[in-house]
């Protein structure tokens, strides 16, 4: 916790509080209120953007818990999302109520995550990254070839979510559902980071040997991190399935895993705010590119053919530039901006 000017703590409890000042609380309250009202003002395209961002936020914050907080690199996050998506879709197709199906999807993903997390006891760093890469590719193969469960290459259509007879069948209704679950998961991860478990995760990330000497059971905690992270990923997957109403195996390819990793790197490793910023950034980037290419299509008429290649190139370039020039991510930049204005005009 970084000390702030004029804030003095008299107890550890106060220091570990989520909100350290009333000002923060008010600001966040106003922000949430504005978000809650926004679907009534914005048109449905922007609301759909908000919805995609909500799903990305859940996925990013869960990966950040595993990679940013606990230090376990995972290149298989997209596949765990897929496990949750298919499990939740199958559950609702067999008549399980939506919320129960969502939890079921989460548990299925957690199970998959923990199975592939078992090697994490022996593997560190790059070896773990390669093991999770294998998990990603193997699960992708399963999605494509287990036709009775996933529909294979034909895909699987899913019904809109329905809670106690209330159907979430348009963008605005979906927004409230997605927003509340995204907010819940943010709250959950924030709180996990403040507990004994969260501190154990951080100690494993910082130096696993000291953590073990201090009495942290490495295997149990690493497995817990994989399970918790994959659970949330599964929930995000289930929501995604019921939002897009169609699942295909290509949705959960390695590109998805990489884009989630990019989100947490661009946002800031180990930071909840950073996950949100990264998710917003990575979801809006392709849309902004589409808009730009539309705007210059008069000058360069062929640009629409190259839009996919361009998108990929810009994505890679943004990732490289962030890693070189802003390795701490957007969250850190945001903190610096706030610090600058706090002392303005007497910044030293």
Partner 1 sequence: MEYYLQLFINGLVVGSIYSLVALGFVVIYKATKVVNFAQGEMVMVGAYVCFGLTVQLHIPFFWAFLMTLAFSVLLGMAIERLALRPLIGEAHICVIMVTIGLSSVLKSVVQLIWGTQIKVYPEVLPTTPIMIAGMPVAPVYIAAFALSGVLFAVFTAFFKYSRMGIAMRATAHDQQAAQSMGIGIRGIFALSWCIASVVSTVGGVILGNINGINSHLGVLGLKVFPAVILGGLDSLLGAALGGLIIGVLENICDGLAKDLFDLGGFREVAAFVVLVAILMIKPYGLFGTEEIERV
Distance of CA 271 to the CA centre of its chain: 12
Closest distance between partner 1 and the C-beta of residue 262, in Å? 7
Q: Which is nearer to partner 1, 137 or 339 (CB)?
A: 137
310 is a contact residue toward partner 1 (CB under 8 A) = yes
320 near partner 1, judged by CB under 8 A? yes
Residue 228 as a binder of partner 1 (CB under 8 A): the answer is no
Residues in the chain: 348
214 sits near partner 1 (criterion: CB under 8 A) = no
- Residue 24: half-sphere exposure toward Cβ, Cα within 13 Å: 8
Among 126, 164, 299, 347, which residue sits at the site for partner 1 (rule: CB under 8 A)?
A: 126
- Does 308 contact partner 1 by CB under 8 A? yes
Span of 80-88, 106-114, 123-131, 270-278 interacting with partner 1 by CB under 8 A: 123-131
Smaller CB distance to partner 1: residue 202 or 318?
Answer: 318
Q: Which two tokens stand for residue 177?
A: 């559902």
Q: Is 269 in the site for partner 1 (CB under 8 A)?
A: yes
Phi-psi region of 329 (alpha: psi -120 to 50; beta: other; left: phi over 0): left
Neighbours of 198 (CB within 10 A): 18
| Residue 188 touches partner 1, criterion: CB under 8 A | no
Helices (H), the chain: 12-15, 22-41, 44-63, 77-93, 98-117, 125-145, 147-150, 171-194, 196-206, 208-213, 218-244, 254-267, 272-295, 307-325, 329-343
Contact segment (CB under 8 A) with partner 1 among 15-23, 80-88, 226-234, 308-316 equals 308-316
Site for partner 1 in 63-82 (CB under 8 A): 67, 73
Please give the structure tokens belonging to residue 267.
């946002």
Tokens 């818990």 appear where?
A: 65
Residue 141 beta carbon to partner 1: minimum distance, rounded to whole angstroms: 4
Question: CB 119 → partner 1: shortest distance, Å?
Answer: 5
Of 30, 35, 62, 59, nearest to 47 by C-alpha is 35
289 near partner 1, judged by CB under 8 A: no
Give the three-class secondary structure for 339: helix
Could you tell me the smallest distance in angstroms from the CB atom of residue 161 to partner 1? 33
Q: Does 202 bind partner 1 (CB under 8 A)?
A: no
Report helix angle 254-267 to 272-295, nearest 10: 110
Provide the binding-site residues for partner 1, judged by CB under 8 A.
Answer: 67, 73, 119, 122-123, 125-127, 129-131, 133-135, 137-138, 141, 144-145, 209, 213, 254, 258, 261-262, 265, 269, 306, 308-320, 323-324, 327
């Amino acid at each position: 916790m970084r000390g702030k000017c004029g804030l003095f703590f008299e107890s550890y409890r106060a220091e570990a509080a989520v909100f350290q000042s009333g000002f923060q609380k008010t600001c966040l309250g106003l922000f949430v209120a504005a978000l809650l009202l926004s679907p009534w003002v914005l048109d449905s395209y922007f609301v759909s953007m908000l919805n995609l961002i909500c799903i990305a936020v859940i996925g990013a914050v869960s990966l950040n818990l595993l990679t940013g907080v606990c230090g376990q690199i995972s290149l298989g996050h997209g596949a765990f999302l897929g496990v949750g998506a298919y499990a939740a879709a199958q559950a609702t197709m067999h008549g399980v109520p939506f919320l129960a199906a969502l939890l079921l999807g989460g548990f299925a993903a957690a199970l998959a995550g923990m199975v592939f997390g078992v090697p994490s006891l022996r593997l560190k760093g790059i070896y773990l990254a390669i093991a999770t890469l294998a998990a990603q590719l193997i699960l992708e193969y399963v999605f494509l070839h287990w036709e009775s469960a996933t529909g294979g290459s034909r895909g699987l259509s899913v019904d809109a979510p329905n809670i106690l007879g209330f159907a979430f069948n348009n963008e605005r209704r979906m927004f409230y559902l997605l927003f509340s679950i995204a907010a819940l998961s943010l709250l959950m991860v924030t709180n996990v980071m403040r507990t004994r478990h969260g501190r154990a995760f951080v100690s494993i990330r910082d130096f696993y040997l000291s953590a073990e000497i201090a009495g942290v059971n490495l295997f149990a905690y690493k497995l817990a991190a994989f399970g918790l992270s994959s659970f949330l990923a599964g929930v995000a997957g289930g929501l995604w399935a019921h939002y897009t109403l169609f699942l295909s195996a290509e949705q959960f390819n390695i590109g998805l895993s990489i884009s989630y990793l990019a989100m947490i790197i661009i946002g800031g490793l180990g930071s909840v705010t950073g996950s949100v910023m990264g998710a917003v950034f990575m979801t809006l980037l392709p849309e902004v590119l589409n808009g730009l290419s539309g705007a210059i299509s008069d000058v360069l008429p062929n640009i629409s053919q190259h839009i996919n290649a361009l998108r990929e190139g810009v994505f890679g370039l943004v990732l490289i530039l962030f890693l070189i020039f802003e390795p701490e991510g957007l969250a850190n930049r945001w903190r610096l901006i706030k610090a600058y204005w706090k002392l303005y005009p007497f910044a030293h």
